[in-house]
Chains A and B, each alone.
Chain A
Amino acid sequence: MLELQAVGKTFGELQALHGIDLHVRRGTVSGLIGPNGSGKTTLVNIITGIYAPDSGRVLLDGKDVSRASADQITRLGVSRSFQNIRIFNRMSVLENVIAALIGHHKPGLATLLGRAKRIGDPRVTAARRALETVGLLEQGDLFANELPLPLRRRLEIARALACDPKFLVLDEPAGGMTPAETASISELIRSRIAPGRTCVVIEHKMDLISHVCEHLCVLNHGEKIAEGDPRSVVNQPEVIEAYLG
């Protein structure tokens, strides 16, 4: 499904990633963990085309997408959420999700000039379904900036989910949440989102990771230091040292 081959990235003097290899198999949920500044978000930005890698290749279904732009990659079926929440603040919750469905296929003139919120439009139906999945349907008519933080995270997930992506990246879906909210979001991911999808989840909270992921990859200082079954990986001495040291 997704394969990274020796991906490297430097910002000025700082080498953010050194030759990362990663393989995400179809239909699995992989976790990506690591201390702050270990390069997790940079890696996600490279996968989703916001940055181009300085070296190495990114393959999606065997196709080289290292140089593809972010919008092209999205149209190939990759969706993501953001660690520091990005939503369209001056639109309603429902409109935020509809927005994600316009560009899923390159829109032609007829699509562009059609009414965005026409009742019965398949996009509106799909957007409602996505909101229902994350439990936001009742808030659909609110303005997006009126939502409290945990619900904004859910809105991001709904938006990423709406176009039924082949590949989903969740960047800290439980960031800034209380334990109860975290538990609820990890149950949501496990039961409603993960089945039948390929996902990568970035998270600090180990209970979410162990609840959701079948495979775990640990980054530190831009290098992959461990990989494998979550339970065995977290007990490896390098990983413990990276987190404590």
Chain B
Amino acid sequence: MTDFLQNCIDGVMFGSGYALLALGFTLVFGVMKRLNLSFGPSIMLGAYAGTWVYLNFSQNVLLVVLVTVMITVAVGIYVERLCFWAVRRDATIASMVSSFVIWMQLEEVAMHLLPERTYPFPAFFTSTVIDIGPFFVRSEHISMFLLTLVLLALLHLFLFRTRPGLAVRAVSDNPLASRYMGINSSNVLFLAFAVVSVLGGLAGFLILSADSQVTPFFGLWATFKGLIAMMLGGMGSLPGAILGGLLLGVVEANAFWYGGPVVRDISAYLLLFMMLIVRPGGLVGQRIVAQQQAAYERV
């Protein structure tokens, strides 16, 4: 029982990172009902650029954060223009496939930048173990968890207290109506991608520096963890993304404890597969699936 609770604590800590990634997916999905599978690789490329600066120029951590975020945003915008803006609006699947093939490009660019398998990533946090009763937590996980909460609060402020945030929510709620209200959905899409890339860049930095290393597999890892967390919680739902991230973290932590790394990964995919079959919209996102279905079957 203590083990299980300890796993749950670890899971929640790590799940907060998943939640950040899932928020990126869910915001983009909400605005345009399309999936950006290149999200993870964009972050990976950003982090690679950051590492490159770290190794070649400056040990300044803030500079690394800045470069990581800026390159992630630049790559995010490249992906947006090529795979989403240029592709016909109703071609949901084409965009998804397109973002998947761009992934290969990004990975190869990253390999040209830093050809080794593993690189050190600046550790932003000091690493100690903190005891709480019978349980313990690592300090870098606590810092990551707290910073995630701060980012969530900022995102919430952006979405619910600013005019651009209102536009994002309007388009995601009803694209047609917001077009009639004079909202330029192409601009909103651009904005959403930029915001999501900032979020993704920061999330990538937090996760990597808690790990203090970066590998080319981070792109794949980030896309899948974010995707699974979003789909578990609910397509296009913000609370769903957080819920899904935490759920995924807890499930993985336990699967890892009882079965090892392969079982952890299988359990995540199994959970996703079952969820898609039983409730494609996730725990709280069924409304969007129903809407899409209705729009499709309209006769």
Contacts and interface: CB of A to CB of B under 8 A. Distances in A.
A and B touch in the complex (CB under 8 A): yes
B90 interface: no
A139 B169 CA distance: 47
Contacts of B297: 50
A170 B256 CA distance: 60
B132 interface: no
B181 interface: no
Nearest to A82: B299
Contacts of A50: 297, 299
Interface in B68-123: none
A136 B47 CA distance: 61
A92 interface: no
A86 B299 CA distance: 8
A83 interface: yes
A210 interface: no
Interface in B259-299: 297-299
B298 to A, nearest CB: 8
Interface in A50-77: 50
A86 B298 CA distance: 11
Contacts of A41: 299
A45 B298 CA distance: 10
A233 B297 CA distance: 33
A236 interface: no
Contacts of B298: 84
A50 B296 CA distance: 13
Contacts of B299: 41, 45, 50, 82-84, 86
Nearest to A80: B299
B293 to A, nearest CB: 13
Nearest to B294: A11
Given A41-B299, A83-B299, 7 more contacts: A45-B299, A50-B297, A50-B299, A82-B299, A84-B298, A84-B299, A86-B299
9 contacts: A41-B299, A45-B299, A50-B297, A50-B299, A82-B299, A83-B299, A84-B298, A84-B299, A86-B299
